[in-house]
Amino acid sequence: MQFDYDLFVIGGGSGGVRAARMAAGTGARVAIAEEYRFGGTCVIRGCVPKKLLVYASEFAKTFKDAEGFGWSVGSPSFHWQRLIENKDREIERLSGIYRSLLDKAGVTVFQTRAVFEDAHTVRLLNEDRTVTSKTILVAVGGWPYVPQIPGSEFAITSNEAFNLPKLPGSIAIVGAGYIGLEFAGIFHGLGVDVTVVHRGPRLLRGFDEDLEIGLAEAMMARGIKLMLNTRIVAIEQGEHRYRLVTATGEPIETDLAMYATGRVPNTPKLGLDKAGVALGQAGEVKVDEFCRSSVDSIYAIGDVTDRVNLTPVAIDEAMRFVDTVFRGKPTPVDHHGIPTAVFSQPEIGTVGLTEEEARQKCLGVDIYKTSFRPLKATLSGSTERMLMKMVVDQATDQVVGVHILGPDAAEMAQILAIPLRLGATKADFDATMALHPTAAEELVTMREKWQPPQAKAAE
Ligand SMILES: Cc1cc2nc3c(=O)[nH]c(=O)nc-3n(C[C@H](O)[C@H](O)[C@H](O)COP(=O)(O)OP(=O)(O)OC[C@H]3O[C@@H](n4cnc5c(N)ncnc54)[C@H](O)[C@@H]3O)c2cc1C
């Protein structure tokens, strides 16, 4: 059978753009459809604008810290509109680069929503016509999930938070995953009164418990209110403010309510049923290790598969897909040892197993941890401490996890992912020369195994 294209990609985000470019580079006839702006979540309303807002919000602390180093900063003022305009200009530039990379690679670009007609056919909605392709790649990403409660339509999500017409005086952020906590730090740094409301007992499900506890303490010390074990059952609109009604009855009055309660795959109304593609419980496209769906001609990568929802993972999956389908080198995706950051304030950087996971997987585990006041804090007067924790498999001496809370934690986690991937042992870390004076030198100078307080007392 003759097809219009060898590959049709639905979705021009991190994964889709990379797959389209790389596949075109092999000589394949490739087309891509994007319904909004090229660059997708990461560029338009995710990682990039988020990090720019984090930088903006960190200046408040920097101005304060500067006094201890002899600076008189006066009373700084902040202009939200200027920040958003500058951010938008940068996003526009990046989105343009994504688009021109596709053109340069010889990819046919359709600015439209595309939906399935069958296993080899997609309908281009703006043009009201269909095209056929030998292989179709689903890279449509995800969308914020807001639980349906009375008044949930009054809440914003991270999508809207990037373009608020003005900063609120107060905000209640529902959800304590990484997006909620990052926005808590952003708004707090910009002078907004922030309350984080979470139905569970702990922040950041899936992260090492010491990091979660350390972050909760640090956020509260900075002035962010944390309401754990609190469930919101309704949002009421008052004359000027909103009232979040909790299950226990205690209301939370706020200028703005934001939901950061997870994201769901963007599969509704995509016509995947017409193509016979199997979906999982959350609506994710079910794929094998080669990103192939239940239908041979259809593959899926990135957030729509709801595996590890991060930009570098979507990009890696795109490249493994191209290896498998267009380069004749079937390559499974390796989801192990992915370094992860939370750009909360203070920041988290982590790679490998948590202590809890290691205790389940290894016969014995040694823990090394240290908590200290970074050198910079001595003059700035900040009481915030930095936390570092190393998880070691007793049987092999291999370092299986490192968890850091404090300045530059994300940068450290990226570098640490390399030795951990290579199977570095604690002895390798110990044999590495320290770089002084840094915070990271603690990673090669931790010698004493951590013992729970009761074990220490019994010695
Ligand atoms: C607030 C926030 C902060 C984040 N921070 C980070 C971070 O710091 N680090 C990190 O690694 N990850 C971060 N992420 C996650 C990251 O953005 C995603 O993992 C990544 O963008 C997934 O890429 P993707 O290609 O799967 O999908 P996306 O980037 O979401 O791209 C999907 C694209 O498909 C388009 N589309 C959807 N349906 C159709 C259709 N039917 N037809 C045509 N086009 C369609 C959409 O418009 C979109 O452009 C963050 C996400 C959010 C929301």
Candidate of 311, 342, 414 to mutate for ligand 1, largest count of ligand atoms within 8 Å of Cβ: 311
Q: Look at ligand 1, atom 26, and give the residue with the nearest C-alpha.
A: 302
Q: Look at ligand 1, atom 40, and give the residue with the nearest C-alpha.
A: 113
455 pLDDT band (50/70/90 cuts)?
low
Tell me the per-residue pLDDT of 326-358, one tens digit each, with 9 for 90 and over: 999 999 999 999 999 999 999 999 999 999 999
Reported as type and span, the H/E element at residue 109 is strand 108-110
Atom of ligand 1 nearest to the CA of 270: 41
Please tell me the distance between residue 271's alpha carbon and the centre of ligand 1 in angstroms.
20
For residues 368 and 362, the answer to whether their CB atoms sit within 8 Å is no
- pLDDT recorded at residue 295: 98
For residues 3 and 306, the answer to whether their CB atoms sit within 8 Å is no
238 pLDDT band (50/70/90 cuts)?
confident
Other residues' Cβ atoms within 10 Å of the Cβ of residue 85 = 11
> Cα 380 to the chain's mean position, in Å?
30
Angle at 161 between CA 241 and CA 168, to 5 degrees: 35
pTM above 0.85, yes or no: yes
Other residues' Cβ atoms within 10 Å of the Cβ of residue 140 = 29
Q: Look at ligand 1, atom 8, and give the residue with the nearest C-alpha.
A: 47
Per-position b or e across 99-134, b if 16+ CB within 10 A of its CB: beebeebebbbbbbbbbbeebbbbbbeeeeeebbbb
- pLDDT recorded at residue 383: 87
250 pLDDT band (50/70/90 cuts)?
confident
- pLDDT recorded at residue 351: 98
Is the peptide bond between 330 and the residue preceding it cis, with omega within 30 degrees of 0? no
Atom of ligand 1 nearest to the CA of 40: 49
Candidate of 10, 36, 47, 298 to mutate for ligand 1, largest count of ligand atoms within 8 Å of Cβ: 47
Alpha carbon distances (Å) from 262 to 201, 223, 317:
17, 25, 22
Is the peptide bond between 437 and the residue preceding it cis, with omega within 30 degrees of 0? yes
Q: Taking residues 252-262, report their average pLDDT.
A: 96
Q: Look at ligand 1, atom 50, and give the residue with the nearest C-alpha.
A: 46
Please tell me the distance between residue 287's alpha carbon and the centre of ligand 1 in angstroms.
18
Q: Is 193 helix (H, G, I), strand (E, B) or coil?
A: strand
Place of tokens 């070691």: 392
Tell me the per-residue pLDDT of 45-95, one tens digit each, with 9 for 90 and over: 999 999 999 999 999 999 999 999 999 988 899 999 999 999 999 999 999
Residue 21: CA count within 13 A, CB half-sphere = 21
Please tell me the distance between residue 183's alpha carbon and the centre of ligand 1 in angstroms.
17
- The two structure tokens encoding residue 198: 């979470």
Q: Taking residues 312-323, report their average pLDDT.
A: 98
Spatial separation of the C-alpha atoms in residues 76 and 59, rounded to whole Å: 10
Candidate of 52, 140, 181 to mutate for ligand 1, largest count of ligand atoms within 8 Å of Cβ: 140
Please tell me the distance between residue 42's alpha carbon and the centre of ligand 1 in angstroms.
5
* Cβ 258 under 6 angstroms from ligand 1: no
- pLDDT recorded at residue 456: 59
Q: Is 436 an active-site residue?
A: yes
- One of 79, 240, 336, 436 is an active-site residue; which one? 436
Residue 441: CA count within 13 A, CB half-sphere = 8
